[in-house]
Structures are given as structure tokens and as C-alpha cells.
């Protein structure tokens, strides 16, 4: 029933042939898995990207290799790019652009980005969607789900529901394919960061952007994990990491609208600012989600395993008859483990999240998709920071935010809360060799003196 045309049957045969070629049933190396996904096409590249964030599902070495699929994809040639743009605008590409640089700034499964120059000499970044990508992915998703029903394969490791995973891949892909929605995301993020001097998001050229072509301000600089460039330009790595964390905490704790894929390729350092790029995939949290996440984080920092365990249960679907005594003991051991291990000592920055998902799997606990995206993106951000600056204490930074956001109730407490938290999310631009602005950071003693006394009066 899923095969609507002869082309569908041909594609299904092609999928089976490629999978057979790599002898998946006999085991597959990380390199071969990555190559197989590339050969299968964009739908499977997107599936590989998703699996790279699931070390509880597949081995860590496979996850690491699949991370390359986030930016490594086949490239459209210049003639294709020009043709797509001309078709989208309904007029020749060179009536809008003076030139389009042939080598892409980045190429992914759904789109690629090129530097270009407008007729007035303005440098811009142009994001171009791959031709017919929607129809190709829609067909692959439909055929994959049909194949799963035929072979009765429902889960991997008794935890990842393959049908749900495919649905998630398709939902994420559709969101990323709508450049008008991405433009809205960019505008919302720019509003959220207004007044924060150390963070930036490129503006959109609305008059030149469509559902399939997105024209944005060109951003120079370097990727946030480029230590050599950071040292050469005189940036303080710990300052960059601390402000990167501060702004990301603000995104999910205050804005409830956060970058869902904050890997180094999507975050640059430029002109004294941390710049967020590729905002096609954004996470959204309800007020309840955000409140429960704060409770979880506070419990992790304070090592209160009972509150942490109960909060996880309140967030997630679970069997009411689960063995709570055994569950609480697992959570106690879990928090004890990470209370005494620094980021530098972890075998992987995502271990803490992988272990939590293993506990959920063992006790039949279903984590909501919105929170799954949050945990994944936070682990990506944490991995970037741990590679850049292992001495940056993520727990201590989170702790300061928790103190600032948990003041006493009432007018006075509310005002103090806003003042204290503002110190964490505001601040000067990053200082570096070319900066002229005086560096001004909140004084830690001042912060502790102001917030510590009120924390003691907390209910």
C-alpha cells in the first residue's frame, strides 16, 4: 500500500540493495555506517544525525563518527545553485547577486550555504534548499515505515521505537525545510538577545528570502572550537565558554526557545560576540517543562536524588507500579557518580545524559520528545565546552543561575531576582586583541553578597 508508483518500488529495492551491500546483519564499523547513510541519501543522513545523539542506543564510537553527517554532505555545483535561485525568484540570479562564491560555507542533507555579494556590494550568506528534497524525503519516510511493519522490527535495544524515530526525523526535517519559519526563528532569537553585548544572531534580508532560499547577513570569524584562532586573536577561552553557557541557559530557562543543535559548526566567534547560526531547528519548552527542568538541575547541583527522581517521574510517562525503591537507589548512585567527576574526567561529555536514558529504559520510563531535544542539545553544548575549557565548571555556572532565579516571593524578592539574574545574562562584549570596550563582568563577591542572604530566606 505504501508503494504508490513504480518509482517507489525501485527506491525500496535500492534501499534494500545498499543495506545488503554493507552487510548490516553481520555488524558494521563506524566508517561503513556513515558511508551507508550517505549512499542511502538525505533521509538517512538525517537519521544518522539523530542517532549520533543517542549513545544509549548505539556504541559511542559510532555516535562520534555519525557526528560528521551534521556538516558533511554532497555538494551542489555552482550551475545548480544559480538555477535554483533563478527559478525561485522568477528572474536571472545575476539580477539580484553580483556573484555567488562557488565553494559552500557549509553543506548538509537539506541545504547548503554560500557566501555571495549583492549588486550594491553587500556581502551576504545565501542558504539554498536542495531541489526536490521534500518529495525525496517524504517517499523514503513512507517506504521505511512500511518496511518496518513488514519485517516486524519495532525497537532497537528495547528502547528506541523505530517508527517514532522516523516520525521525529520527518518532523524535524519539515521544520528545517521551511526557510520562512527559520526566518521567524531568527527574528525571535534576535529579540531575545537584544541588549546582550556578547551574543549575536545575523539579520535576515526579508525582501530576498523565500521558503526555499534564505538570505542573511554574512558572518566572518571562526567556529567556537577553533582554539588556534581564539588564541591568535587574544580571546579568553574561559570567558567565551562561560558566556556561551550563560546565554544557553537563558534560552531554555527564560526564553523557553533554544537552539536544538548547538554544535561548533553552528556557533561562531566574531567581532567580540558569540554568534548563533542555523536556526532551522529550535527547541520549545512549555512553562511546566522549564519549571521541572530547573527543579531537576537544582537537585543535581544539591545532590538531592529523591527530588530529582520524583521530578523525572512527574515529567515522564511511566508504569505506576515500577519498583520505586530500586529506582531511587539507581538515582542515588547516578548523582553520586557525577557529583565527584569533573567534566575533564568524563570519558564523554554526554555520559551523564546517556546514563540517565539507560535508567529510564531499564524502568520503562518514556521521556517526552520536547525534553529529549533539550537533553540532547544541552549535551552537545556541554561537549563543546568540555573540549574547549575542561576547567570551566558547568555545575557552578548553573548553580549561580539557580540562586538568582529562586529568590523569596513578593515585590522586593522579585526585583532582586531580576537584578541578580541580569548580571549573569548581560555583560560586556568578549574582550580580545581588537576590542576597545572596557571589559566589565559582574563581581562574584558582589553577586554572592547580594544573593546569598536572600537565598537563606527562601521558603
Active site residues: 261
Angle formed by the axes of helices 351-362 and 324-339, nearest 10°? 170
**Distance in angstroms (rounded) separating the CA atoms of residues 452 and 400:** 10
**Distance in angstroms (rounded) separating the CA atoms of residues 417 and 405:** 6
Do the bridges between strand 199-200 and strand 273-276 make them parallel or antiparallel, or are there none, so unpaired? parallel
CB–CB of 282/259 below 8 Å?
A: yes
How many beta carbons lie within 10 A of that of residue 353, not counting itself? 21
Looking at residue 91, what DSSP letter applies?
S
Non-local CB neighbours of 234 within 8 Å, separated by 6+ positions: 431, 432, 433, 434
**Distance in angstroms (rounded) separating the CA atoms of residues 217 and 126:** 9
**Distance in angstroms (rounded) separating the CA atoms of residues 62 and 144:** 22
Backbone angles phi, psi at 379, to 5 degrees: -70, -35
3-state SS class at 171: helix
**Distance in angstroms (rounded) separating the CA atoms of residues 120 and 118:** 5
CB–CB of 301/402 below 8 Å?
A: yes
Backbone angles phi, psi at 222, to 5 degrees: -150, 160
Amino acid at each position: 500500500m505504501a508503494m504508490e508508483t513504480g518509482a517507489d518500488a525501485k527506491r525500496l529495492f535500492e534501499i534494500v540493495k545498499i543495506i545488503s551491500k554493507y552487510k548490516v546483519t553481520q555488524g558494521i564499523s563506524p566508517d561503513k555506517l556513515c558511508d551507508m547513510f550517505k549512499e542511502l541519501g538525505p533521509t538517512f543522513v538525517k537519521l544518522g544525525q539523530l542517532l549520533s545523539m543517542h549513545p544509549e542506543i548505539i556504541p559511542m564510537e559510532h555516535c562520534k563518527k555519525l557526528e560528521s553527517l551534521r556538516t558533511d554532505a554532497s555538494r551542489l555545483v555552482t550551475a545548480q545553485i544559480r538555477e535554483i535561485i533563478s527559478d525561485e525568484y522568477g528572474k536571472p540570479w545575476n539580477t539580484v547577486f553580483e556573484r555567488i562564491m562557488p565553494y559552500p560555507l557549509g553543506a548538509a542533507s537539506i541545504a547548503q550555504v554560500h557566501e555571495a555579494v549583492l549588486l550594491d556590494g553587500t556581502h551576504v550568506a545565501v542558504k539554498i534548499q536542495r531541489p526536490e528534497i521534500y518529495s525525496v524525503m517524504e517517499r523514503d519516510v513512507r517506504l521505511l515505515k512500511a518496511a518496518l511493519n513488514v519485517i516486524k522490527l519495532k525497537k532497537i535495544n528495547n528502547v528506541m521505537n523505530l517508527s517514532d524515530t522516523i516520525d521525529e526525523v520527518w518532523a524535524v526535517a519539515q521544520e528545517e525545510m521551511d526557510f520562512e519559519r527559520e526566518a521567524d526563528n531568527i527574528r525571535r532569537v534576535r529579540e531575545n538577545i537584544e541588549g546582550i553585548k556578547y551574543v549575536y544572531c545575523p539579520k535576515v534580508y526579508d525582501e530576498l528570502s523565500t521558503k526555499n532560499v534564505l538570505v542573511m547577513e554574512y558572518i566572518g570569524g571562526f567556529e567556537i572550537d577553533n582554539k588556534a584562532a581564539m588564541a591568535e586573536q587574544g580571546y579568553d577561552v574561559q570567558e567565551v565558554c562561560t558566556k556561551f553557557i550563560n546565554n544557553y541557559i537563558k534560552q531554555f530557562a527564560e526564553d523557553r526557545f533554544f537552539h536544538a543543535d548547538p554544535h561548533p559548526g553552528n556557533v561562531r566567534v566574531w567581532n567580540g560576540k558569540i554568534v548563533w547560526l542555523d536556526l532551522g531547528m529550535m527547541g520549545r519548552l512549555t512553562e511546566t517543562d522549564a519549571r521541572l527542568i530547573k527543579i531537576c538541575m537544582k537537585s543535581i547541583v544539591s545532590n538531592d536524588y529523591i527530588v530529582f527522581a520524583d521530578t523525572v517521574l512527574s515529567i515522564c510517562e511511566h508504569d505506576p507500579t515500577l519498583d520505586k525503591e530500586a529506582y531511587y537507589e539507581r538515582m542515588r548512585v547516578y548523582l553520586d557518580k557525577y557529583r565527584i567527576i569533573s567534566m575533564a574526567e568524563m570519558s564523554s561529555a554526554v555520559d551523564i545524559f546517556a546514563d540517565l536514558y539507560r535508567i529510564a529504559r531499564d524502568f520503562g520510563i518514556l521521556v517526552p520528545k520536547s525534553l529529549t531535544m533539550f537533553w540532547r542539545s544541552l549535551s552537545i553544548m556541554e561537549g563543546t565546552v568540555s573540549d574547549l575549557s575542561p576547567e570551566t565548571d558547568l555545575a557552578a555556572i548553573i548553580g549561580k543561575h539557580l540562586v538568582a532565579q529562586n529568590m523569596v516571593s513578593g515585590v522586593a524578592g522579585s526585583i532582586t531576582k531580576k537584578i541578580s539574574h541580569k548580571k549573569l545574562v548581560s555583560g560586556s562584549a568578549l574582550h580580545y586583541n581588537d576590542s576597545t570596550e572596557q571589559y566589565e563582568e559582574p563581581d562574584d563577591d558582589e553577586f554572592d553578597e547580594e544573593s546569598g542572604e536572600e537565598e537563606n530566606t527562601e521558603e
